[in-house]
A and B are shown apart, each in its own frame.
Chain A
Amino acid sequence: MASLRVLVGCKRVIDYAVKVRVRPDKLGVVTDGVKHSMNPFDEIAIEEAVRLKEKKIAKEIVAVSCGPAKCQETLRTALAMGADRAIHVEIAEKEYEGIGPLQVSKMLAKLAKDEDANLFIVGKQAIDDDCNQTGQMLASYLDWPQATFASEVVVEDGDLKVTREVDGGLETVKVKMPCVITADLRLNEPRYATLPNIMKAKKKPMLKKKPADLGVDMTPHVEVLKVDDPPTREAGVKVESAEELVSKLKDVGCI
């Protein structure tokens, strides 16, 4: 029964709890000395894969990350959550700045082929660039069906029945494997790694690759022109009575 090899994409991003600061050159955000962790949606993706393994549907989980050396910490987290092994595609810091979902999805597609994957789960988007493109591009490069924004995944007659979170409701689709799934928020609640899992994770294999090994062209296709802070909120005013509120609203032309 346990037959699937599941690949999961894990991106290292600025931690969700960190207050992000724009760089003085306005071409990116400050990353030096800032706490990073696994993209929350990718944690959900790993969790789903581990659950498939616990149900004996998956036989092996391979966590994959493309990026600078520090991505290995992210991969160790994935291994401690229950992935069996990891692949790190190492990209120099400078080069990594220029690339995006296009190059990453090409690398993931090549790995999916090399590893003979049956299922690729990625987060629906990363909380740093909010692109929401990698899963879709990956499916397209592989020419595999995809089920995006998944909130439930069940195996039915060898196919996957996936519930998708769509605007204002849910949609249920059936996809044949191999396929790509992108994880939405409500798919599951990821577990955290306990000490025994962490200890064993250190012994799990981590394969290192370079983009050139995968034959992917790393030429940037998108140029960042400017990064701005969100507009700062102006201070409000206190009103004493309903009458005053109404007159203030009239003053600013709201009513």
Chain B
Amino acid sequence: MRVFNIIQSSLRTYRVKRYVFQSQLECYSRHATSIWRNKWQHYRALPTGVTKLGSEQFIIKNTMATTDHLTPEINLRLMTPQCKLYHCKFDDTSGVSDPYWAFYWPGGQVLTRFLLDNPSYVIGKNILDVGSGCGATAIACIKLGANNVLANDIDPVAEKAIHLNAELNGVSIETSTENMIGKVDTEFDTIILGDMFYDESFTKQVTDWLLKLLSLKRKMIMIGDPGRVFLNQLPIRKHLHQLEKYRLTEQCKFENHGFNDAAVWTIK
């Protein structure tokens, strides 16, 4: 009986503690959720091939310029905790295309950091950034003096975000939304990918392509990744050579549970 009481009372304390926390959170997120729904509905209601004005305004309204990441020399419009949509919940995002461009993922952060610290990988090179997202890595390459940079992302909203971020950093950038995965007749000598290995089947598709590219032509391939499990389960793992490893920022860890660091690899 005594034990039972202790269990009951500890559970009660727990419930009360959680309740206070949860109700604060909910009060905030209920508000955020309804806003999110409206915005997304508005976003989805736009005619296909989203008008330039529509998605650009959406990005501007729902992101904030920030340098709270591993490459503060590049200013980026991202969805930060100060932005309302950051706090929406599960069901609110299902069914619409998720704003991957609104975050600077750990793999992209360390890859960009590495290139900024080692410009010889970039200067004079023809670089393809696959899955560019917010465009940070491609922007860094332009600033460092690459010969030619293409920021590629199949999401048309990401394409807009890349242009906005380039403008914010005083550069202009070439973009494309073509799906290049599987294409082997590419003139780029350097292919970079930040955080593209978060989905099991997609990881297989991308890594098979990279290995094929490698076997056909001498290409420099660099990837940034926090060590997501699929990379270690596929044939590519035998070809990965680590160039550098970095600790993630607190904010980045908060956005990527389970990871404290991320690394840059080349594929050989």
Contacts and interface: CB of A to CB of B under 8 A. Distances in A.
Interface of A: 16-17, 40, 50, 53-54, 56, 59-61, 73, 76-77, 80-82, 84-85, 125, 127, 130, 132, 167, 184-185, 191-200, 202-205
B258 A54 contact: yes
9 contacts: A50-B257, A54-B258, A81-B257, A127-B11, A192-B25, A194-B81, A195-B255, A200-B256, A204-B198
Nearest to B252: A196
Contacts of B6: 167
Contact of A198 (B2, B18, B90, B259): B90
Nearest to B3: A167
B22 A54 contact: no
A73 B91 CA distance: 10
A55 to B, nearest CB: 8
A77 B15 CA distance: 19
Nearest to B15: A16
A116 to B, nearest CB: 14
Contacts of A61: 258
Interface string B102-118: 01010000000000000
Contact of B103 (A77, A193, A196): A196
Interface of B: 2-3, 6-7, 10-11, 13-15, 18-19, 22, 25, 79, 81, 85-90, 93-94, 98-100, 103, 105, 198-200, 202, 229, 253-260
Contacts of B229: 59-60, 84-85
Contacts of A194: 81, 86, 254-255
Nearest to B26: A17
A203 B258 contact: no
Given A17-B15, A200-B198, A202-B98, A195 B257 contact: no
A54 B252 CA distance: 13
A58 to B, nearest CB: 9
A224 to B, nearest CB: 19
Contacts of B88: 195
A54 B19 contact: no
Contacts of B3: 167
Contacts, number: 85
Contact of B86 (A54, A81, A195): A195
Given A199-B100, A202-B98, A16 B258 contact: no
Given A54-B260, A167-B3, A192-B25, A198 B254 contact: no
A40 B18 contact: yes
Contacts of B15: 16-17, 40
Contacts of B199: 203
Contacts of A132: 7
B86 A125 contact: no
A185 B10 contact: yes
Given A73-B90, A82-B258, A199 B98 contact: yes
A93 B15 CA distance: 27
A149 to B, nearest CB: 10
A196 B258 contact: no
Contact of B18 (A16, A80, A197): A16
Contacts of B87: 195
B14 A185 contact: yes
Contacts of B14: 16, 40, 185
A198 B93 contact: yes
Given A167-B2, A198-B89, A199-B98, A191 B257 contact: yes
B198 A195 contact: no
A120 to B, nearest CB: 18
B10 A197 contact: no
Contacts of A16: 14-15, 18-19
A148 to B, nearest CB: 12
Contacts of A56: 260
A76 B198 contact: no
Contacts of A167: 2-3, 6
B25 A195 contact: no
A202 B254 CA distance: 17
B90 A197 contact: no
A50 B258 contact: yes
Q: Indicate the member of A82, A185, A196, A198 with the most B CB atoms within 10 Å.
A: A196
A191 B253 CA distance: 12
Q: Indicate the member of B2, B7, B85, B253 with the most A CB atoms within 10 Å.
A: B7
Nearest to B81: A194
Q: Indicate the member of A54, A81, A132 with the most B CB atoms within 10 Å.
A: A54
A198 B7 CA distance: 32
A132 B22 CA distance: 25
Contacts of B10: 184-185
B218 to A, nearest CB: 32
Nearest to B103: A196
